[in-house]
Amino acid sequence: MDLDRINAWVREFARLIGENAQYLSDLDAAIGDADHGINMDRGMTAVVAALDDTPPADAGALCKQVGMTLVKSVGGASGPLYGTFFLRMAPAMGAESADFAAALRAGVEGVVQRGRAEAGDKTMFDALAPALDALDAALASGADLAKALAEATAAAEKGRDATESMVARKGRASYLGQRSVGHVDPGATSAALLIGAAATVVRT
Ligand code: ADP
Ligand code: MG
């Protein structure tokens, strides 16, 4: 993943967030405060504006700029979490496809350090973790990055769907306890879009 691809990835994620903003907020209305789509759309709109204003020189600098913009512009739990994701990706970014998987892994480790989510807590981690495992497994078995990211996307979507039956143990949704069951987690839904956006830009 070079600078152009990372740039395209972030912009595709911003586009998907814009397209799904209402849906993400509707999901959050059921188990939170109905702002996940609004939060993410505000953040990703600011991210794209910053990329247009001050185009970063390399992929690492781009990830850093994205992370800082998200931390600055998004209120709520998701801003610092997605911000940390990109900030942690930054130093791990390189030019090779294997580096992208490692950088994503570093990003997710940052999310875990920051939010302390574990598998099954009904958060974005439940989409991200299976996606990374599928990505690593596919690359290890010789798949190219496009194929591996397609498999990662399928795993992220499966992880997202599995949050429906989970009891929320982190964030606002955890206040609902058992009543959070029966609803898909909004952050897991945006996280599946993040992985899907990478698959899209690598395929094209
Ligand atoms: P807020 O909950 O502050 O309103 P958002 O609505 O933007 O923030 O984001 C909610 C999403 O953030 C949840 O759906 C969940 O996926 C994610 N989330 C919340 N807390 C955590 C956490 N501790 N670790 C990982 N993800 C979290
Ligand atoms: Mg919310």
Q: Does position 204 have pLDDT exceeding 90, yes or no?
A: no
* 3-state DSSP helix/strand/coil % of the chain, to nearest 5: 80, 0, 20
Q: Indicate the pTM of the whole model.
A: 0.97
Phi and psi at 160, nearest 5°, equal: -60, -50
Per-residue pLDDT tens over the stretch 74-86: 988 999 999 999 9
Phi and psi at 34, nearest 5°, equal: 65, 30
Per-residue pLDDT tens over the stretch 22-38: 999 999 999 999 999 99
Q: Does position 96 have pLDDT exceeding 70, yes or no?
A: no
Q: Is the CB of 194 under 6 A from ligand 1?
A: no
Q: Where are the domains of the chain?
A: 3-203
How much distance in Å is there from the Cα of 28 to the middle of ligand 2? 6
What integer pLDDT is reported at residue 99 of this predicted model? 87
| Residue whose pair of structure tokens reads 């949050």 in the numeric block | 163
Q: Is the CB of 81 under 6 A from ligand 1?
A: yes
What integer pLDDT is reported at residue 130 of this predicted model? 98
Distances from the Cα of 172 to the Cαs of 33, 70, 128, 185, 187, in angstroms? 8, 20, 19, 11, 12
Homologous superfamily assigned to 3-203? DhaL domain (1.25.40.340)
How much distance in Å is there from the Cα of 33 to the middle of ligand 2? 5
